[in-house]
Protein backbone atom coordinates (compact mmCIF):
# COMPACT_ATOMS: atom_id res chain seq x y z
CA UNK A 1 0.00 0.00 0.00
CA UNK A 2 1.33 3.42 -0.97
CA UNK A 3 0.19 6.33 1.18
CA UNK A 4 0.59 10.10 1.17
CA UNK A 5 -0.83 13.42 0.10
CA UNK A 6 -4.31 12.94 -1.30
CA UNK A 7 -7.75 14.49 -1.41
CA UNK A 8 -9.81 13.86 1.73
CA UNK A 9 -13.31 14.99 0.82
CA UNK A 10 -14.72 12.00 -0.89
CA UNK A 11 -16.68 10.39 1.03
CA UNK A 12 -16.75 12.49 1.97
CA UNK A 13 -31.66 5.34 20.53
CA UNK A 14 -36.13 2.76 23.76
CA UNK A 15 -35.59 2.41 26.04
CA UNK A 16 -33.12 -0.40 26.37
CA UNK A 17 -29.72 -0.33 27.99
CA UNK A 18 -28.29 3.09 28.72
CA UNK A 19 -25.04 2.51 26.87
CA UNK A 20 -22.02 4.40 28.11
CA UNK A 21 -19.29 1.73 28.10
CA UNK A 22 -18.63 -1.93 27.48
CA UNK A 23 -20.39 -2.87 30.72
CA UNK A 24 -23.69 -2.03 29.07
CA UNK A 25 -24.85 -5.15 27.19
CA UNK A 26 -26.01 -4.90 23.59
CA UNK A 27 -29.73 -4.70 23.01
CA UNK A 28 -31.37 -7.50 21.04
CA UNK A 29 -34.71 -6.94 19.34
CA UNK A 30 -36.77 -9.11 17.00
CA UNK A 31 -38.34 -8.03 13.74
CA UNK A 32 -39.95 -9.19 10.51
CA UNK A 33 -40.24 -7.77 6.99
CA UNK A 34 -41.46 -8.92 3.62
CA UNK A 35 -39.19 -9.23 0.60
CA UNK A 36 -40.62 -10.45 -2.71
CA UNK A 37 -43.70 -11.73 -0.90
CA UNK A 38 -41.69 -13.74 1.62
CA UNK A 39 -41.40 -12.91 5.30
CA UNK A 40 -37.92 -12.58 6.81
CA UNK A 41 -37.74 -12.93 10.57
CA UNK A 42 -34.54 -11.53 12.00
CA UNK A 43 -32.82 -10.36 15.16
CA UNK A 44 -31.08 -6.99 15.51
CA UNK A 45 -28.19 -6.51 17.94
CA UNK A 46 -27.00 -2.98 18.71
CA UNK A 47 -24.14 -2.28 21.06
CA UNK A 48 -20.42 -1.90 21.69
CA UNK A 49 -17.66 -4.38 21.07
CA UNK A 50 -14.69 -3.55 23.32
CA UNK A 51 -11.18 -3.65 21.89
CA UNK A 52 -8.24 -4.20 24.24
CA UNK A 53 -4.49 -4.11 23.80
CA UNK A 54 -2.17 -7.05 24.44
CA UNK A 55 -2.05 -6.13 28.13
CA UNK A 56 -5.85 -6.39 28.35
CA UNK A 57 -6.38 -2.66 28.78
CA UNK A 58 -9.47 -1.20 27.11
CA UNK A 59 -8.53 0.90 24.09
CA UNK A 60 -11.82 1.60 22.35
CA UNK A 61 -15.46 0.64 22.08
CA UNK A 62 -16.75 0.07 18.56
CA UNK A 63 -20.46 0.56 17.99
CA UNK A 64 -22.16 -1.85 15.64
CA UNK A 65 -25.62 -2.94 14.55
CA UNK A 66 -25.93 -6.54 13.37
CA UNK A 67 -28.86 -8.18 11.62
CA UNK A 68 -29.09 -11.98 11.66
CA UNK A 69 -31.78 -13.96 9.92
CA UNK A 70 -33.75 -16.25 12.23
CA UNK A 71 -34.42 -19.93 11.63
CA UNK A 72 -30.99 -20.88 10.27
CA UNK A 73 -29.97 -24.36 11.44
CA UNK A 74 -26.27 -23.70 10.99
CA UNK A 75 -24.15 -20.61 10.42
CA UNK A 76 -21.70 -22.68 8.38
CA UNK A 77 -23.46 -21.87 5.10
CA UNK A 78 -25.07 -18.53 6.01
CA UNK A 79 -23.05 -15.61 4.68
CA UNK A 80 -22.19 -12.64 6.89
CA UNK A 81 -21.10 -9.23 5.58
CA UNK A 82 -19.27 -6.45 7.43
CA UNK A 83 -20.12 -2.99 6.07
CA UNK A 84 -18.34 0.38 6.26
CA UNK A 85 -18.98 3.79 4.79
CA UNK A 86 -16.25 6.25 3.93
CA UNK A 87 -15.02 9.74 4.75
CA UNK A 88 -12.66 9.17 6.50
CA UNK A 89 -14.96 10.17 9.34
CA UNK A 90 -18.25 8.71 8.12
CA UNK A 91 -20.36 6.35 10.17
CA UNK A 92 -22.11 3.41 8.51
CA UNK A 93 -25.37 5.39 8.42
CA UNK A 94 -25.65 5.62 4.63
CA UNK A 95 -25.35 1.92 3.94
CA UNK A 96 -27.30 1.07 7.09
CA UNK A 97 -30.54 3.02 6.60
CA UNK A 98 -29.94 4.42 3.13
CA UNK A 99 -29.09 1.35 1.13
CA UNK A 100 -28.84 -2.25 2.24
CA UNK A 101 -30.20 -2.65 5.77
CA UNK A 102 -33.65 -4.12 6.50
CA UNK A 103 -35.07 -0.64 7.09
CA UNK A 104 -34.56 2.26 4.71
CA UNK A 105 -35.26 5.96 4.96
CA UNK A 106 -37.78 6.53 2.19
CA UNK A 107 -36.32 8.74 -0.56
CA UNK A 108 -38.24 11.08 -2.84
CA UNK A 109 -39.91 9.33 -5.76
CA UNK A 110 -37.09 9.98 -8.21
CA UNK A 111 -34.34 9.57 -5.62
CA UNK A 112 -32.86 12.97 -6.53
CA UNK A 113 -34.42 15.22 -3.89
CA UNK A 114 -35.15 15.20 -0.17
CA UNK A 115 -38.64 13.81 0.59
CA UNK A 116 -41.25 16.05 2.20
CA UNK A 117 -41.49 13.79 5.25
CA UNK A 118 -38.89 11.51 6.79
CA UNK A 119 -39.89 7.93 7.54
CA UNK A 120 -38.43 4.44 7.66
CA UNK A 121 -39.91 1.71 5.50
CA UNK A 122 -39.18 -1.96 4.94
CA UNK A 123 -36.35 -2.20 2.44
CA UNK A 124 -37.40 -4.60 -0.29
CA UNK A 125 -33.81 -4.54 -1.58
CA UNK A 126 -32.20 -5.39 1.75
CA UNK A 127 -29.19 -7.65 1.43
CA UNK A 128 -30.37 -9.44 4.57
CA UNK A 129 -32.25 -11.70 2.18
CA UNK A 130 -28.95 -13.37 1.24
CA UNK A 131 -26.44 -12.39 3.93
CA UNK A 132 -26.43 -11.40 7.58
CA UNK A 133 -25.26 -7.81 7.98
CA UNK A 134 -22.99 -6.06 10.47
CA UNK A 135 -22.72 -2.27 10.20
CA UNK A 136 -19.58 -0.89 11.84
CA UNK A 137 -18.81 2.69 12.91
CA UNK A 138 -15.04 3.42 12.95
CA UNK A 139 -13.50 5.18 15.94
CA UNK A 140 -14.69 8.77 16.22
CA UNK A 141 -17.87 8.10 14.22
CA UNK A 142 -21.34 7.00 15.28
CA UNK A 143 -21.05 6.09 18.96
CA UNK A 144 -17.59 4.53 18.63
CA UNK A 145 -15.01 6.11 20.92
CA UNK A 146 -11.70 5.52 22.62
CA UNK A 147 -11.40 4.67 26.31
CA UNK A 148 -10.64 7.46 28.81
CA UNK A 149 -7.03 8.53 28.51
CA UNK A 150 -6.57 7.02 25.03
CA UNK A 151 -5.96 9.59 22.29
CA UNK A 152 -8.27 8.81 19.37
CA UNK A 153 -6.02 10.66 16.92
CA UNK A 154 -3.57 7.75 16.97
CA UNK A 155 -6.17 5.75 15.04
CA UNK A 156 -6.56 8.32 12.26
CA UNK A 157 -4.20 6.60 9.82
CA UNK A 158 -4.91 4.02 7.18
CA UNK A 159 -2.96 1.22 8.86
CA UNK A 160 -4.29 1.89 12.37
CA UNK A 161 -7.82 2.12 11.00
CA UNK A 162 -7.42 -1.20 9.19
CA UNK A 163 -5.95 -2.81 12.30
CA UNK A 164 -8.96 -1.73 14.39
CA UNK A 165 -11.39 -2.98 11.74
CA UNK A 166 -9.54 -6.29 11.60
CA UNK A 167 -9.60 -6.71 15.36
CA UNK A 168 -13.32 -5.93 15.40
CA UNK A 169 -14.09 -8.60 12.81
CA UNK A 170 -11.88 -11.17 14.54
CA UNK A 171 -13.55 -10.49 17.89
CA UNK A 172 -17.02 -10.49 16.35
CA UNK A 173 -16.70 -13.83 14.55
CA UNK A 174 -15.21 -15.33 17.71
CA UNK A 175 -17.83 -13.99 20.11
CA UNK A 176 -20.79 -14.77 17.87
CA UNK A 177 -19.50 -18.07 16.46
CA UNK A 178 -19.13 -17.06 12.80
CA UNK A 179 -15.64 -18.35 11.96
CA UNK A 180 -17.05 -20.96 9.55
CA UNK A 181 -19.55 -18.64 7.88
CA UNK A 182 -18.81 -17.34 4.36
CA UNK A 183 -17.52 -13.83 5.05
CA UNK A 184 -17.74 -10.66 2.95
CA UNK A 185 -16.61 -7.07 3.25
CA UNK A 186 -18.77 -4.20 1.97
CA UNK A 187 -17.21 -0.77 1.54
CA UNK A 188 -18.40 2.46 0.01
CA UNK A 189 -16.12 5.36 -1.07
CA UNK A 190 -13.29 5.57 1.50
CA UNK A 191 -14.85 2.42 2.93
CA UNK A 192 -13.48 0.69 -0.19
CA UNK A 193 -9.99 1.94 0.72
CA UNK A 194 -10.46 0.32 4.11
CA UNK A 195 -11.96 -2.86 2.65
CA UNK A 196 -9.18 -3.42 0.10
CA UNK A 197 -6.42 -3.04 2.68
CA UNK A 198 -8.45 -5.00 5.25
CA UNK A 199 -8.87 -8.02 2.97
CA UNK A 200 -5.08 -8.37 2.85
CA UNK A 201 -4.69 -7.64 6.58
CA UNK A 202 -7.25 -10.26 7.65
CA UNK A 203 -5.44 -12.93 5.67
CA UNK A 204 -1.91 -12.09 6.76
CA UNK A 205 -2.50 -11.00 10.37
CA UNK A 206 -5.48 -13.08 11.45
CA UNK A 207 -5.59 -16.10 9.13
CA UNK A 208 -9.13 -15.09 8.21
CA UNK A 209 -9.99 -15.68 4.56
CA UNK A 210 -12.86 -13.83 2.96
CA UNK A 211 -15.18 -15.21 0.34
CA UNK A 212 -15.80 -11.85 -1.30
CA UNK A 213 -15.24 -8.10 -1.25
CA UNK A 214 -17.98 -5.73 -2.44
CA UNK A 215 -16.81 -2.24 -3.41
CA UNK A 216 -19.24 0.62 -4.06
CA UNK A 217 -17.78 3.77 -5.66
CA UNK A 218 -14.20 2.66 -5.25
CA UNK A 219 -11.34 4.82 -4.02
CA UNK A 220 -8.36 2.48 -4.32
CA UNK A 221 -6.05 4.84 -6.22
CA UNK A 222 -6.33 8.47 -5.17
CA UNK A 223 -4.24 9.62 -8.11
CA UNK A 224 -7.25 8.83 -10.30
CA UNK A 225 -9.30 11.69 -8.81
CA UNK A 226 -6.74 14.11 -7.37
CA UNK A 227 -6.80 17.19 -9.59
CA UNK A 228 -3.30 18.39 -8.82
CA UNK A 229 -0.86 20.33 -10.91
CA UNK A 230 1.03 17.84 -13.06
CA UNK A 231 -1.44 14.98 -12.53
CA UNK A 232 -2.99 14.98 -16.01
CA UNK A 233 -4.46 11.47 -15.72
CA UNK A 234 -7.13 12.60 -13.22
CA UNK A 235 -8.49 15.21 -15.65
CA UNK A 236 -8.64 12.68 -18.46
CA UNK A 237 -10.38 10.07 -16.32
CA UNK A 238 -13.00 12.60 -15.16
CA UNK A 239 -13.87 13.89 -18.63
CA UNK A 240 -16.48 11.22 -19.54
CA UNK A 241 -18.33 11.88 -16.25
CA UNK A 242 -18.33 15.61 -16.99
CA UNK A 243 -19.72 14.87 -20.43
CA UNK A 244 -22.44 12.61 -18.97
CA UNK A 245 -23.49 15.43 -16.62
CA UNK A 246 -23.42 18.05 -19.37
CA UNK A 247 -25.62 15.87 -21.56
CA UNK A 248 -28.08 15.24 -18.72
CA UNK A 249 -28.47 19.01 -18.22
CA UNK A 250 -28.76 19.52 -21.99
CA UNK A 251 -25.50 21.42 -22.30
CA UNK A 252 -23.90 18.87 -24.64
CA UNK A 253 -24.66 15.85 -26.76
CA UNK A 254 -23.18 12.53 -25.76
CA UNK A 255 -21.44 9.66 -27.49
CA UNK A 256 -19.96 8.09 -24.39
CA UNK A 257 -17.74 5.54 -26.09
CA UNK A 258 -16.30 8.29 -28.28
CA UNK A 259 -15.62 10.49 -25.25
CA UNK A 260 -13.93 7.64 -23.34
CA UNK A 261 -11.71 6.79 -26.29
CA UNK A 262 -10.76 10.42 -26.84
CA UNK A 263 -10.12 11.07 -23.14
CA UNK A 264 -7.56 8.28 -22.86
CA UNK A 265 -6.25 8.87 -26.36
CA UNK A 266 -5.73 12.26 -27.97
CA UNK A 267 -6.73 14.28 -24.88
CA UNK A 268 -4.29 12.61 -22.50
CA UNK A 269 -1.55 12.61 -25.13
CA UNK A 270 -1.98 16.33 -25.79
CA UNK A 271 -2.12 17.18 -22.08
CA UNK A 272 1.19 15.37 -21.71
CA UNK A 273 2.74 17.85 -24.15
CA UNK A 274 2.20 20.61 -21.61
CA UNK A 275 3.22 24.11 -22.73
CA UNK A 276 4.60 22.80 -26.00
CA UNK A 277 1.01 22.43 -27.26
CA UNK A 278 0.44 25.63 -29.24
CA UNK A 279 -1.46 27.19 -32.10
CA UNK A 280 -4.12 25.29 -34.06
CA UNK A 281 -3.56 22.08 -32.12
CA UNK A 282 -4.24 23.78 -28.80
CA UNK A 283 -7.27 25.59 -30.24
CA UNK A 284 -8.64 22.28 -31.51
CA UNK A 285 -8.22 20.71 -28.08
CA UNK A 286 -9.93 23.62 -26.34
CA UNK A 287 -12.89 23.38 -28.66
CA UNK A 288 -13.19 19.63 -28.18
CA UNK A 289 -13.13 19.86 -24.37
CA UNK A 290 -15.73 22.63 -24.53
CA UNK A 291 -17.96 20.55 -26.81
CA UNK A 292 -17.82 17.50 -24.53
CA UNK A 293 -18.30 19.40 -21.27
CA UNK A 294 -20.76 22.12 -22.25
CA UNK A 295 -18.39 24.79 -20.93
CA UNK A 296 -17.25 27.86 -22.83
CA UNK A 297 -14.02 27.79 -24.79
CA UNK A 298 -12.87 30.78 -22.76
CA UNK A 299 -13.35 28.86 -19.50
CA UNK A 300 -11.55 25.79 -20.86
CA UNK A 301 -8.66 27.92 -22.10
CA UNK A 302 -8.42 29.77 -18.78
CA UNK A 303 -8.38 26.38 -17.02
CA UNK A 304 -5.41 25.36 -19.17
CA UNK A 305 -7.52 22.57 -20.71
CA UNK A 306 -7.89 20.89 -17.32
CA UNK A 307 -11.31 21.09 -15.64
CA UNK A 308 -11.64 19.45 -12.23
CA UNK A 309 -14.90 17.81 -11.23
CA UNK A 310 -15.31 20.18 -8.27
CA UNK A 311 -14.97 23.31 -10.42
CA UNK A 312 -17.24 21.80 -13.05
CA UNK A 313 -20.10 21.44 -10.53
CA UNK A 314 -19.93 25.22 -10.03
CA UNK A 315 -19.45 26.26 -13.64
CA UNK A 316 -21.86 24.16 -15.69
CA UNK A 317 -25.04 26.01 -14.63
CA UNK A 318 -23.41 29.21 -13.39
CA UNK A 319 -25.49 31.41 -15.71
CA UNK A 320 -28.62 30.05 -13.99
CA UNK A 321 -27.08 30.56 -10.52
CA UNK A 322 -27.33 26.84 -9.93
CA UNK A 323 -24.80 24.16 -9.02
CA UNK A 324 -24.89 20.42 -9.62
CA UNK A 325 -24.09 17.62 -7.22
CA UNK A 326 -20.70 16.02 -6.90
CA UNK A 327 -22.13 12.79 -5.53
CA UNK A 328 -24.85 12.79 -8.18
CA UNK A 329 -24.50 15.27 -11.03
CA UNK A 330 -28.23 15.04 -11.82
CA UNK A 331 -29.09 16.91 -8.61
CA UNK A 332 -29.33 20.71 -8.84
CA UNK A 333 -28.90 23.22 -6.00
CA UNK A 334 -29.23 26.98 -5.60
CA UNK A 335 -25.87 28.73 -5.84
CA UNK A 336 -25.65 30.79 -2.64
CA UNK A 337 -22.55 32.74 -3.72
CA UNK A 338 -22.46 32.92 -7.53
CA UNK A 339 -18.88 34.20 -7.57
CA UNK A 340 -15.98 31.88 -6.90
CA UNK A 341 -14.66 28.62 -8.27
CA UNK A 342 -16.37 26.05 -6.05
CA UNK A 343 -19.93 25.43 -4.82
CA UNK A 344 -20.87 26.17 -1.21
CA UNK A 345 -22.29 22.68 -0.67
CA UNK A 346 -23.11 19.48 -2.50
CA UNK A 347 -26.89 19.38 -3.11
CA UNK A 348 -26.76 15.64 -3.78
CA UNK A 349 -25.11 14.97 -0.42
CA UNK A 350 -27.70 17.06 1.40
CA UNK A 351 -30.65 15.41 -0.36
CA UNK A 352 -29.66 11.99 0.96
CA UNK A 353 -28.07 12.83 4.30
CA UNK A 354 -30.76 14.97 5.90
CA UNK A 355 -33.38 12.21 5.86
CA UNK A 356 -30.96 9.60 7.15
CA UNK A 357 -29.76 11.47 10.24
CA UNK A 358 -33.22 12.05 11.68
CA UNK A 359 -34.62 8.63 10.86
CA UNK A 360 -31.54 6.78 12.16
CA UNK A 361 -31.55 8.54 15.52
CA UNK A 362 -35.22 7.74 16.02
CA UNK A 363 -34.75 4.17 14.79
CA UNK A 364 -31.86 3.38 17.13
CA UNK A 365 -33.74 4.67 20.15
CA UNK A 366 -37.23 3.33 19.59
CA UNK A 367 -36.98 0.34 17.23
CA UNK A 368 -33.63 -1.07 18.34
CA UNK A 369 -34.08 0.15 21.94
CA UNK A 370 -30.52 1.43 22.18
CA UNK A 371 -29.81 4.61 24.09
CA UNK A 372 -26.43 6.32 24.38
CA UNK A 373 -25.35 9.34 26.40
CA UNK A 374 -23.43 10.82 23.48
CA UNK A 375 -24.57 12.21 20.11
CA UNK A 376 -24.40 9.96 17.08
CA UNK A 377 -21.54 11.35 14.97
CA UNK A 378 -22.83 10.53 11.51
CA UNK A 379 -19.95 12.44 9.88
CA UNK A 380 -17.00 13.64 11.95
CA UNK A 381 -15.16 16.71 10.69
CA UNK A 382 -12.58 16.12 13.40
CA UNK A 383 -11.71 12.68 12.05
CA UNK A 384 -11.61 13.90 8.47
CA UNK A 385 -9.32 16.90 8.99
CA UNK A 386 -7.17 14.97 11.49
CA UNK A 387 -6.54 12.06 9.12
CA UNK A 388 -2.84 11.39 8.53
CA UNK A 389 -2.34 10.50 4.90
CA UNK A 390 1.46 10.69 4.86
CA UNK A 391 2.41 7.97 7.34
CA UNK A 392 4.44 5.99 4.80
CA UNK A 393 6.04 8.64 2.63
CA UNK A 394 4.98 10.65 -0.39
CA UNK A 395 2.70 9.85 -3.25
CA UNK A 396 -1.00 9.09 -3.55
CA UNK A 397 -2.91 6.70 -1.37
CA UNK A 398 -2.96 3.39 -3.21
CA UNK A 399 -4.45 0.13 -1.89
CA UNK A 400 -5.20 -1.76 -5.11
CA UNK A 401 -1.96 -3.62 -4.48
CA UNK A 402 -3.33 -4.84 -1.14
CA UNK A 403 -6.42 -6.16 -2.89
CA UNK A 404 -4.37 -7.77 -5.65
CA UNK A 405 -2.12 -9.46 -3.11
CA UNK A 406 -5.14 -10.84 -1.25
CA UNK A 407 -6.59 -12.17 -4.51
CA UNK A 408 -3.28 -13.78 -5.45
CA UNK A 409 -2.88 -15.41 -2.05
CA UNK A 410 -6.42 -16.81 -2.13
CA UNK A 411 -7.52 -17.57 -5.72
CA UNK A 412 -11.06 -18.22 -4.46
CA UNK A 413 -11.49 -14.61 -3.31
CA UNK A 414 -13.97 -12.77 -5.53
CA UNK A 415 -14.44 -9.02 -5.91
CA UNK A 416 -17.53 -7.13 -7.08
CA UNK A 417 -17.12 -3.41 -7.82
CA UNK A 418 -19.95 -1.03 -8.67
CA UNK A 419 -19.75 2.54 -9.94
CA UNK A 420 -22.28 5.28 -10.71
CA UNK A 421 -22.17 7.00 -14.07
CA UNK A 422 -23.27 10.32 -12.52
CA UNK A 423 -20.65 10.18 -9.77
CA UNK A 424 -18.23 13.13 -9.90
CA UNK A 425 -16.62 12.26 -6.55
CA UNK A 426 -14.99 9.05 -7.74
CA UNK A 427 -15.60 9.08 -11.53
CA UNK A 428 -16.39 5.68 -12.98
CA UNK A 429 -13.59 5.70 -15.58
CA UNK A 430 -11.04 6.33 -12.82
CA UNK A 431 -12.35 3.27 -11.01
CA UNK A 432 -12.16 1.15 -14.15
CA UNK A 433 -8.67 2.45 -14.87
CA UNK A 434 -7.52 1.36 -11.41
CA UNK A 435 -8.89 -2.16 -11.80
CA UNK A 436 -7.41 -2.42 -15.29
CA UNK A 437 -3.96 -1.57 -13.93
CA UNK A 438 -3.81 -4.01 -11.02
CA UNK A 439 -1.66 -6.40 -13.03
CA UNK A 440 -3.82 -9.38 -12.15
CA UNK A 441 -3.09 -12.78 -13.61
CA UNK A 442 -5.81 -13.61 -16.20
CA UNK A 443 -7.10 -16.41 -13.95
CA UNK A 444 -7.53 -13.93 -11.09
CA UNK A 445 -9.00 -11.26 -13.32
CA UNK A 446 -11.99 -13.54 -13.85
CA UNK A 447 -12.70 -13.17 -10.13
CA UNK A 448 -13.19 -9.40 -10.51
CA UNK A 449 -16.52 -7.95 -11.72
CA UNK A 450 -16.89 -4.24 -12.45
CA UNK A 451 -20.26 -2.74 -13.34
CA UNK A 452 -21.48 0.81 -13.98
CA UNK A 453 -25.01 1.86 -13.00
CA UNK A 454 -27.17 4.81 -14.01
CA UNK A 455 -26.71 6.36 -10.59
CA UNK A 456 -24.49 8.63 -8.55
CA UNK A 457 -21.88 7.97 -5.86
CA UNK A 458 -24.51 6.45 -3.56
CA UNK A 459 -25.79 3.95 -6.09
CA UNK A 460 -28.65 2.74 -3.89
CA UNK A 461 -30.19 6.24 -3.83
CA UNK A 462 -31.49 5.73 -7.36
CA UNK A 463 -34.83 3.83 -7.35
CA UNK A 464 -33.92 1.67 -10.36
CA UNK A 465 -30.22 1.24 -9.63
CA UNK A 466 -30.92 -0.13 -6.14
CA UNK A 467 -32.95 -2.96 -7.69
CA UNK A 468 -30.22 -3.80 -10.18
CA UNK A 469 -27.54 -3.61 -7.50
CA UNK A 470 -29.54 -5.92 -5.23
CA UNK A 471 -29.89 -8.54 -7.97
CA UNK A 472 -26.24 -8.32 -8.98
CA UNK A 473 -24.88 -8.57 -5.44
CA UNK A 474 -27.26 -11.43 -4.60
CA UNK A 475 -25.91 -13.35 -7.59
CA UNK A 476 -22.33 -12.46 -6.63
CA UNK A 477 -22.75 -13.67 -3.05
CA UNK A 478 -24.39 -16.87 -4.25
CA UNK A 479 -21.52 -17.56 -6.66
CA UNK A 480 -18.84 -16.75 -4.10
CA UNK A 481 -20.73 -18.87 -1.58
CA UNK A 482 -20.51 -22.07 -3.60
CA UNK A 483 -23.15 -21.24 -6.19
CA UNK A 484 -26.19 -21.84 -3.96
CA UNK A 485 -29.28 -19.70 -4.24
CA UNK A 486 -29.39 -17.00 -1.52
CA UNK A 487 -32.77 -18.32 -0.36
CA UNK A 488 -31.22 -21.68 0.50
CA UNK A 489 -28.48 -20.15 2.57
Give the number of other CB atoms < 10 A from CB of residue 48.
Answer: 24
Residue 23 banded pLDDT, cuts 50, 70, 90: low
pLDDT averaged over the chain?
Answer: 90
Give domain limits for the chain.
18-223+353-488, 229-346
Residue 9 banded pLDDT, cuts 50, 70, 90: very low
pLDDT single digits (tens) 369-400: 998 888 999 999 999 999 988 655 568 999 99
pLDDT single digits (tens) 248-304: 999 999 899 999 999 999 999 999 999 998 999 999 999 999 999 999 999 999 999
Question: According to the model, what pLDDT value does residue 117 have?
Answer: 62
For the cut 70, the answer to whether the pLDDT of residue 24 exceeds it is no
Question: According to the model, what pLDDT value does residue 109 have?
Answer: 64
**Which CATH class name applies to 18-223+353-488?**
alpha beta
For the cut 60, the answer to whether the pLDDT of residue 458 exceeds it is yes
pLDDT single digits (tens) 174-211: 999 999 999 999 999 999 999 999 999 999 999 999 99
Note the pTM of the prediction, 2 decimals: 0.92
Question: According to the model, what pLDDT value does residue 11 have?
Answer: 37
Rounded Cα distance, 39 and 30, in Å: 13
Q: Are residues 469 and 108 in contact, defined by beta-carbon separation less than 8 angstroms?
A: no
Question: According to the model, what pLDDT value does residue 118 have?
Answer: 75
Amino acid sequence: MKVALAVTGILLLGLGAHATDSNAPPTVTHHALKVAGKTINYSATAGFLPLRNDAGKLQAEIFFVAYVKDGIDSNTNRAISFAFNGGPGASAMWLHVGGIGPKRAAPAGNGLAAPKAYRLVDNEQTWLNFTDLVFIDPIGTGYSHTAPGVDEKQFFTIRKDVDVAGRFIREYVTHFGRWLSPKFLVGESYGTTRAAALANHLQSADGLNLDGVILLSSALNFEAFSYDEGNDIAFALALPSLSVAAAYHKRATLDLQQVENWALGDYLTDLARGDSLLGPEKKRLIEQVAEYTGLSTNYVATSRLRVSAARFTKELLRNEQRTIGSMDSRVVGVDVTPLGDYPDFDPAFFSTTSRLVETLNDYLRYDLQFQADRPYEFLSHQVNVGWKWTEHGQGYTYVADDLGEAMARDPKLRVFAAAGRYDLTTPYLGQRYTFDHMGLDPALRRNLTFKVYEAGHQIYSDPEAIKQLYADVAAFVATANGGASPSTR
